[in-house]
Amino acid sequence: MLRMVEEDADIAYRMMEIRQCIDQLELAFSELAAEFQQSKHWEHQGANSAIDWMRFHCHMTSNAAADRIAVGEHAPQMPESIQAMKADVIGFPHLTVMARTAGAVDEAFDELQLLPLARESSPGKFHYKCLHYRHAVNAERYAAEQAEQVHARTLHMSTSDDGSLYLTGFLDSVGGAIVRNALEPLARRAGKDDHRRRPQRLADALVEFAGHKQKIQMQVTSSIETLLDVAGAPGAETEFSLPISSKTAQRWACDCSVTRVLMKKSVVIDVGQAERTIRGPKRRALVARDQHCQWPGCERPASWCDGHHIVFWTHGGGDDLENLCLLCTRHHWKVHEGGWKLIRTDEGNIITLSPRTMFSPPRGPD
Ligand SMILES: [Zn+2]
Ligand SMILES: [Zn+2]
């Protein structure tokens, strides 16, 4: 028995030793990869890019090749981290996260802020912390990247001859978190005799959800600074999602059935209830006046709409009817994340201003 323990410890030690050698080789490979990218040798070889060439000749995935080039390119900006890897304090995967972060924030990058986080985190956790760092350094750019993801959203439904339905799709980080928040609680095992596989439980959850229109419980944890969109603030957090931008947090706080937890210096200062911020007589008055989404041309009914503050409450906008209007989820997104502006005319009509054409005649798209 004792012999076994010693042998196992030896295996563990050798694994760590080999992994460290691999990390050193990965770094050497990355430096060459960045040089190779500059050389344009790949072009003479008929490849479309250095990544393409590496994919074929080094038997790598595109992502793995791009990671190596990023590490090689950003190596001069992270000398301390490279030393930490050589001393076996962090691993090569930490370096790839560091390099991708350097690429995302450009000259604002400061490895000394990130290295302590790398030391104390697994690479996966470190990636998550670096996303908060990216939000803190440039919240506008982070929000723009998240908004960009939304354009790739897609859901295909096709019914086959026997009536069964095929689903395939892609959702952005925020949309995905909402769907998972809705389905995960319904997809839990119903006791120890529940032998359904997880994909079956998720399928049942989707059908159950669609059938009963369950109210979703989202919990958002955000600092005051994030909600106020202060420079240097981290992203907000919610289960099943990467850090969300302050723009999305503001939309949810505008009038949403989310539970919000507000933090100041890591201390919880307010736990809001999962209730609409505009409720009671005020909501009834708003619904009676607007009846449907107020985006020009949209007629989504009030029950599908949020109450939007035209001047956001953190910017001094009040809860008076003048400052409120109904917007469906999609158009609420356009105002907060999409950069469109809403203006109420003296006649009480809503007009929209596109982020791109602020000075051309306002129009409402689709
Ligand atoms: Zn709003
Ligand atoms: Zn609408």
Identify the pLDDT of residue 6: 84
How many A from CA of 245 to the centre of ligand 1? 14
Average pLDDT, the chain: 86
How many A from CA of 133 to the centre of ligand 1? 25
Task: Tell me how far apart the alpha carbons of residues 83 and 81 are, in angstroms, rounded to a whole number.
Answer: 5
Whether the per-residue pLDDT at 140 is higher than 80: the answer is: yes
How many A from CA of 237 to the centre of ligand 2? 26
In the chain, the amino acid numbered 189 is R
Identify the pLDDT of residue 362: 46
Ligand nearest to the CA of 331: 2
Of these ranges, 94-98, 239-243, 282-286, 288-292, the one predicted with the greatest mean pLDDT is 94-98
42-60 pLDDT, tens digit per residue, is 999 899 999 999 999 999 9
Ligand nearest to the CA of 341: 1
Is pLDDT larger for residue 96 or for residue 268?
A: 96
Ligand nearest to the CA of 330: 2
Nearest CA to 297 out of 352, 347, 256 is that of 352
Ligand nearest to the CA of 332: 1
CA gyration radius for the chain?
25
User: Pairing relation of β-strands 218-223 and 258-264?
Assistant: parallel
pTM: 0.72
Residues with CB under 5 A from ligand 1 (ion): 254, 308
Confidence category of residue 360, pLDDT binned at 50, 70, 90: very low
101-112 pLDDT, tens digit per residue, is 999 998 899 999
Average pLDDT over residues 118-145: 93
How many A from CA of 310 to the centre of ligand 1? 7
Identify the pLDDT of residue 77: 96
| Domain boundaries of the chain, sorted by first residue | 2-137, 218-271, 280-353
Of these ranges, 78-92, 130-144, 193-207, 214-228, the one predicted with the greatest mean pLDDT is 78-92
Average pLDDT over residues 7-35: 95
Whether the per-residue pLDDT at 214 is higher than 70: the answer is: no
How many A from CA of 329 to the centre of ligand 2? 7
Is pLDDT larger for residue 194 or for residue 111?
A: 111
Structure tokens at 224: 């005051």
How many A from CA of 306 to the centre of ligand 2? 10
Ligand nearest to the CA of 350: 2
Confidence category of residue 213, pLDDT binned at 50, 70, 90: low
349 CB neighbour count, 10 Å cutoff? 10
Identify the pLDDT of residue 325: 93
Identify the pLDDT of residue 39: 93
Whether the per-residue pLDDT at 361 is higher than 50: the answer is: no
How many A from CA of 361 to the centre of ligand 1? 23
Average pLDDT over residues 308-330: 85
Ligand nearest to the CA of 300: 2
